[in-house]
Amino acid sequence: MVRRTKEDALSTRNDLLDAAERLFSERGVATTSMMQVAEAAGVTRGAIYHHFENKLDLIESLMDRVKLPVDEMFEELAKSIPDDPLGQLKHRCLKIVKQVQDDQHTQALINILFHKCEYIDDVLPIHQRHLHGRNACIDECEKLIEHAIEKGQVSQNVKPRETVIGMFSLIDGLMYNWLLDRDYFNLEQVAKTSLDRYCASLAD
Amino acid sequence: MVRRTKEDALSTRNDLLDAAERLFSERGVATTSMMQVAEAAGVTRGAIYHHFENKLDLIESLMDRVKLPVDEMFEELAKSIPDDPLGQLKHRCLKIVKQVQDDQHTQALINILFHKCEYIDDVLPIHQRHLHGRNACIDECEKLIEHAIEKGQVSQNVKPRETVIGMFSLIDGLMYNWLLDRDYFNLEQVAKTSLDRYCASLAD
DNA sequence: ATCTTTACATACATACATGCATGTTTGATT
DNA sequence: AATCAAACATGCATGTATGTATGTAAAGAT
| pLDDT tops 90 at residue B81 | no
Averaged pLDDT, B183-198: 97
pLDDT at B72: 81
CA distance A178 to chain B (A): 9
Instruction: Evaluate if the CB of A38 falls below 7 Å from strand D.
Output: yes
Over residues B25-75, the pLDDT tens digits come to 999 999 999 999 999 999 999 999 999 999 999 999 999 999 888 888 877
| Residue B185 forms contact with A (CB below 8 Å) | yes
- Among B27, B170, B190, whose Cβ lies nearest the Cβ of A173? B170
Averaged pLDDT, B119-128: 91
Over residues A117-149, the pLDDT tens digits come to 999 988 999 899 999 999 999 999 999 999 999
Task: Give pairs for A82-85: CB < 8 Å, separation 24+.
Answer: A82/A144, A82/A147, A84/A153, A85/A144, A85/A145, A85/A147, A85/A148, A85/A151, A85/A153
The answer to whether B169 contacts A194, with C-beta atoms less than 8 Å apart, is yes
Distance of CA B20 to the CA centre of its chain: 17
Low-confidence ranges of chain A (pLDDT < 70): 1-3, 78, 81-82
Distance CA A198, CA B166 (A): 10
pLDDT at B108: 97
* Residues 67-126 of chain A whose Cβ lies under 8 A from any Cβ of chain B: 115-122
| Residue A63 forms contact with B (CB below 8 Å) | no
The answer to whether B165 contacts A190, with C-beta atoms less than 8 Å apart, is yes
| pLDDT tops 60 at residue B174 | yes
Radius of gyration of chain B, Cα coordinates, nearest whole angstrom: 20
Averaged pLDDT, B165-171: 98
Under 8 Å between Cβ of B43 and B17: no
Under 8 Å between Cβ of A195 and A167: yes
pLDDT at A73: 82
| Alpha-helical runs (H) found in A42-118 | 45-51, 55-65, 69-78, 85-102, 104-111
| pLDDT tops 70 at residue B177 | yes
- Among A122, A193, A202, whose Cβ lies nearest the Cβ of B197? A202
Over residues B132-143, the pLDDT tens digits come to 999 999 999 999
pLDDT at B195: 97
Distance CA A7, CA A66 (A): 20
User: Mean of the per-residue pLDDT values for chain B?
Assistant: 93
